[in-house]
C-alpha cells in the first residue's frame, strides 16, 4: 500500500512574498535564487508511470523543465535535456539527479534559436537514448519591456525564435522518429489568454504555442502521437529574476494568486507526467492550466 502524504493547506506549502530583489543576467541560474526553487529534488516521488520511456526536454536545467526532467526520471524514463552553455552549473546538478534515479542522462547544450542546432538536438537525443517517445518543448525567453518603444526588433525576433520557431523546428525533426503512443507537450502560459502589457512579445508567442498545439494535434493523431500544452501562471523560476519581471514585481511575485504565493516547479511536474503517460490516452489538443486560481480561460 502506498502511504498517503499528510493533508496540508496548499497556501502554506511553499514560501510566500516578500522576496528579496535578486537581479540576474539572462538566462539566470536557479541555484542563485532566494528562496531556491523546489523542482522536486527532495519531494517528488515516482511510481514507474514512464518506465522504459525516452524523453527530450528543452530548458531542462532549471524551472519547470527541470521539474519535468526530475519527475520523468523518477517515473522510469531516460532523459535528454537541452540548455544554454551559461547554464552548465545548473545542468550538472540535473545530470546527477537523473543518474541518482537510476536512469540515463543526456546533456545537450546549445541555442535552440538556431534551426540547424534544433535538428541536431533531436538527432543526438534519439541516438543517445536509443529512441524518442516524449518531447517537451519547454525552453522560453521572457524579457519585460514597459512600452512598445522599448521593445527592440532584436528582442522581438529572438523571443519568437526561441518560443515559436524552435518548437516548430524540433517537433518537425522529432515526429518522424516517434512511434505510435508518443506524446509532445508544449509549455504555453496563462499569458496566452490574459497578456500583461509589459510582456507584449512573450504573450504573443505563448498564444502561438496554444494554436500550434491544437493544429499539430490534428495532424499527427493518424500517427498515434498526442500533442498537448501546459499553461502555467506565476511560477518561481530563474526566468522571472533574470529580466522576465521588474525587480519590484519579483519581490511580490505570486501575491495576487488565490494562494498568496507563486507556484513552485515541483507543483506542475505531475501535469507533465500525466500528459506524457498512457493515463492521458484520450487527451490531445488540450491546454492544461496551473495558474494559482487565476484561470483566464
Residue 26 has what pLDDT?
76
Chain-centroid distance of CA 204 in Å reads 17
What local confidence, expressed as pLDDT, does residue 6 receive?
A: 84
| Residue indicated by cell numbers 508544449 | 186
pLDDT bin (cut points 50, 70, 90) of residue 295 is low
Task: Give mean pLDDT, residues 52-62.
Answer: 97
Label residue 222 left, alpha or beta by phi (over 0 means left) and psi (-120 to 50 means alpha).
alpha
The tens digit of pLDDT for each residue in 226-278 reads: 999 999 999 988 878 777 788 888 899 889 999 999 999 999 999 999 999 99
Note whether 266 and 38 are within 8 A (CB).
Answer: yes
Q: Tell me, what's the pLDDT at 105?
A: 98
The whole-model pTM stands at 0.94
The 3-state secondary structure of 104-150 reads CEEEEECCCCCHHHHHHHHHHHHHHHCCCCEEEECCCCCCCCCCHHH
Q: What's residue 296's pLDDT? A: 55
pLDDT at residue 199, as a whole number: 96
Supply the pLDDT for residue 3: 61
Q: CA 4, 52, 79, 185 torsion: positive or negative?
A: negative
Mean pLDDT over 61-85 rounds to 97
- Give the cell for residue 17: 512574498
DSSP result, 255-279: TTSTTSSPBPGGGTHHHHHHHHSGG
Examine the pLDDT at 27 and tell me if it is beyond 80: no
pLDDT reading at 23 higher than 90: no
Average pLDDT over residues 6-27: 88
Distance CA 186, CA 24 (A): 26
Sign for the CA dihedral angle at 172, 174, 175, 176 comes to: positive
Q: Which residue has the cell 507556484?
A: 263
Q: How far is CA 132 from CA 2, 3, 78, 79, 124, in A?
A: 30, 33, 10, 9, 10
Q: Which domains does the chain have, with CATH numbers?
A: 48-290 (3.40.50.720)
Residue 12 buriedness (CB in 10 A; 0-12 / 13-18 / 19+) = exposed
pLDDT tens for each residue of 174-232:
999 999 999 999 999 999 999 999 999 999 999 999 999 999 999 999 999 999 999 99
pLDDT of res. 125: 98
Give the pLDDT confidence score for residue 2 in this predicted structure: 57
Range from 30-44, 51-65, 233-247 that averages highest in pLDDT? 51-65
Residues with a catalytic annotation lie at 202
What's the rounded Cα separation, in Å, for the pair 156 and 135? 25
Based on its alpha-carbon atoms, the radius of gyration of the chain, rounded to whole angstroms, reads 18
Q: What is the pLDDT of residue 208?
A: 98
Query: Percent of the chain beyond pLDDT 70?
Result: 97
Q: Could you report the per-residue pLDDT of 94-148, keeping only the tens digit for each?
A: 999 999 999 999 999 999 999 999 999 999 999 999 999 999 999 999 999 999 9
Amino acid at each position: 500500500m502506498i502511504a498517503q502524504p499528510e493533508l496540508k493547506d496548499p497556501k502554506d506549502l511553499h514560501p510566500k512574498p516578500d522576496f528579496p530583489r535578486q537581479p540576474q543576467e539572462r538566462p539566470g541560474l536557479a541555484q542563485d535564487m532566494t528562496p531556491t526553487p523546489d523542482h522536486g529534488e527532495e519531494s517528488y516521488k515516482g511510481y514507474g508511470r514512464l518506465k522504459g520511456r525516452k524523453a527530450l526536454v528543452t530548458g531542462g536545467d532549471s524551472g519547470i523543465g527541470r521539474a519535468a526532467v526530475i519527475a520523468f526520471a523518477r517515473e522510469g524514463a531516460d532523459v535528454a535535456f537541452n540548455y544554454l552553455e551559461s547554464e552548465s552549473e545548473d545542468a550538472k546538478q540535473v545530470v546527477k539527479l537523473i543518474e541518482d534515479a537510476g536512469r540515463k542522462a543526456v546533456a545537450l547544450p546549445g541555442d535552440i534559436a538556431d534551426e540547424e542546432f534544433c535538428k541536431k538536438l533531436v538527432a543526438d537525443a534519439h541516438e543517445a537514448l536509443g529512441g524518442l517517445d516524449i518531447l517537451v518543448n519547454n525552453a522560453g525567453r521572457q524579457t519585460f519591456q514597459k512600452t512598445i518603444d522599448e521593445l527592440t526588433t532584436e528582442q522581438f525576433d529572438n523571443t519568437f525564435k526561441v518560443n515559436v520557431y524552435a518548437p516548430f523546428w524540433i517537433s518537425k525533426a522529432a515526429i518522424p522518429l516517434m512511434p505510435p503512443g508518443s506524446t509532445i507537450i508544449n509549455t504555453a502560459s496563462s499569458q496566452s489568454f490574459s497578456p500583461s502589457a509589459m510582456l507584449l512579445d512573450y504573450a504573443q508567442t505563448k498564444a502561438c504555442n496554444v494554436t500550434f498545439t491544437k493544429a499539430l494535434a490534428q495532424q499527427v493523431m493518424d500517427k498515434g502521437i498526442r500533442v498537448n500544452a501546459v499553461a502555467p501562471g506565476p511560477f518561481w523560476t530563474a526566468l522571472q529574476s533574470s529580466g522576465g519581471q521588474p525587480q519590484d514585481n519579483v519581490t511580490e511575485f505570486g501575491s495576487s494568486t488565490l494562494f498568496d504565493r507563486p507556484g513552485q516547479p515541483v507543483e506542475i511536474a505531475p501535469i507533465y507526467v500525466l500528459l506524457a503517460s498512457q493515463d492521458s490516452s484520450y487527451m490531445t489538443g488540450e491546454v492544461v492550466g496551473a495558474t494559482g486560481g487565476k484561470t483566464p480561460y
